[in-house]
Amino acid sequence: MPEPAITRLQSGGLITNYVCSSACAHCSYRSSPKRDKAYITADEAAANFAACRRLGCRSMHIGGGEPLLRPEGLKDVLRAARQEGIAIEYVETNSSWFKDLDTTVDLLKELQQLGCDTLLISIDPFHNEFIPFAKVKGVLQACRRAGMGIFPWVMEFYDEINRLDDQTVHSLEEYEKAYGPGYLADVQSRYWVTMCGRAVDTFGPLRARQSAAEVLRTAPRSCPRLLGTGHFHIDLYGNYVPPGCVGLTVRREDLGKPLAEENYPVFRTLLARGVPGLHESAAELGYQPTREFAGECDLCADLRAFLATTAPDRFPELAPVEFYTVDR
Ligand code: SF4
């Protein structure tokens, strides 16, 4: 059986930073103001774009953390994309940086000249816990004035957010009070929540949970999703992140090459034997489950957190380590 490798890339995103002005309850990356303050350099961005282009990717989106915490850094990233022949589909933003219409319109026009013609603007109760809606509406208005494309994510939430005071923030508890008990549980089906990162903490308790033993009894004996390349990410440290499996990475320089067992023991175990295989390895190192789990991805994340904090040097693919240590 040939060694697994990531040989073709379909579409994905570049992560400029993990630090963020928000700490949303659904965030797959556990981004927050507590994370490493680093921002991707122009050279690192160019190397990421070049690696993705070599494997067939022709366009990507840009996300974070919050890419517009450093507008000059984002401009360098857009220049790197143009230099490496990668088209930019959209830049994601939470609008927290909005101050006034004129300066925002000027900034958007500069971004357009550098190849960004669309902003994905976050519109949901999770961001509204940290960002007043007036800022979001300000960015929407500035986009219309500058002729910047708008990808509202998710417009369906606009009216229910806008009914609350737009000059301040509102907790998820306030939304439950305003729209009834079960509002948060209902949001799951209205928003594409991926059960990883902080979403596991927020939505895990709202789902059916089982003991580790019960999860292991029915868990798939392989995780083919790890080799999926439709919505991958590559971050400021040169880590490739498979879709939906945040905290598990492949080094940029290993893309397109066989992933050797000695360098990727967790990746290889999950691919070959699924979460039950990973549980065996973690149990040998003393892992003991301390709670119930909302499915195999929840248990997988707990096993990986144990390995990343117990033997970080043995599992460098569990990165960035902050994903497992900050916020817990
Ligand atoms: S079990 Fe782990 S490796 Fe498999 S899909 Fe879920 S998070 Fe990814």
pLDDT score recorded for residue 199: 95
Percent of the chain scored above 70 by pLDDT? 99
Of 273, 300, 317, best ligand 1 pocket probe by most atoms within 8 Å of the beta carbon: 300
Q: What stretches of the chain show up as alpha helix (H) in DSSP?
A: 42-54, 71-84, 101-113, 125-128, 133-146, 158-162, 172-179, 183-190, 198-203, 212-218, 265-284, 296-310, 322-325
Return the ligand 1 atom nearest residue 297 CA: 6
Residue 13 lies in a domain: yes
Lowest-pLDDT choice from 153-157, 188-192, 274-278: 188-192
Model confidence at 302, pLDDT cuts 50, 70, 90, reads very high
Quickly list DSSP for 138-182: HHHHHHHHHT-EEEEETGGGHHHHHTS-TTS---HHHHHHHH-TT
Domain count, the chain: 1
Residue 129 lies in a domain: yes
Residue 149 lies in a domain: yes
pLDDT in tens, 208-261: 999 999 999 999 999 988 999 999 999 999 999 999 899 999 999 999 999 999
d(CA 13, ligand 1 centre) in Å: 19
Across the range 169-190, mean pLDDT stands at: 94
Residue 278 lies in a domain: no
* pLDDT, the chain, mean: 96
Of 275, 317, 323, best ligand 1 pocket probe by most atoms within 8 Å of the beta carbon: 275
Q: Ligand 1 atom 8: the closest Cα is on which residue?
A: 245
Residue 214 lies in a domain: no
Model confidence at 138, pLDDT cuts 50, 70, 90, reads very high
Is the distance from CB of 216 to CB of 279 less than 8 angstroms? yes
Q: Under DSSP, is residue 74 helix (H, G, I), strand (E, B) or coil? A: helix
318 lines ligand 1 (CB under 6 A): no
44 lines ligand 1 (CB under 6 A): no
Cα–Cα distances (Å) from 145 to 110, 142, 160, 169, in that order, read 13, 5, 25, 26
* Count, residues in the chain: 328
Return the ligand 1 atom nearest residue 304 CA: 2
Residue 138 lies in a domain: yes
Longest CA pairwise span in the chain (Å): 60
Q: Ligand 1 atom 4: the closest Cα is on which residue?
A: 223
pLDDT score recorded for residue 224: 85
Across the range 288-313, mean pLDDT stands at: 96
Model confidence at 52, pLDDT cuts 50, 70, 90, reads very high
215 lines ligand 1 (CB under 6 A): no
Model confidence at 159, pLDDT cuts 50, 70, 90, reads very high
Rounded distance between C-alpha atoms, residue 64 and residue 87, angstroms: 18
- CATH code of the domain covering residue 101: 3.20.20.70
Model confidence at 195, pLDDT cuts 50, 70, 90, reads confident
pLDDT score recorded for residue 5: 96
Rounded distance between C-alpha atoms, residue 15 and residue 52, angstroms: 13
Q: Does the structure show a pLDDT above 60 at 328?
A: no
307 lines ligand 1 (CB under 6 A): no
Residue 29 lies in a domain: yes
Rounded distance between C-alpha atoms, residue 272 and residue 305, angstroms: 20
Q: Does the structure show a pLDDT above 70 at 201?
A: yes
pLDDT score recorded for residue 16: 98
Across the range 171-179, mean pLDDT stands at: 96
The parent domain of residue 36 ranges over 1-192
Return the ligand 1 atom nearest residue 299 CA: 1
φ and ψ of 43, to 5 deg: -65, -40
Residue 197 lies in a domain: no
74 lines ligand 1 (CB under 6 A): no
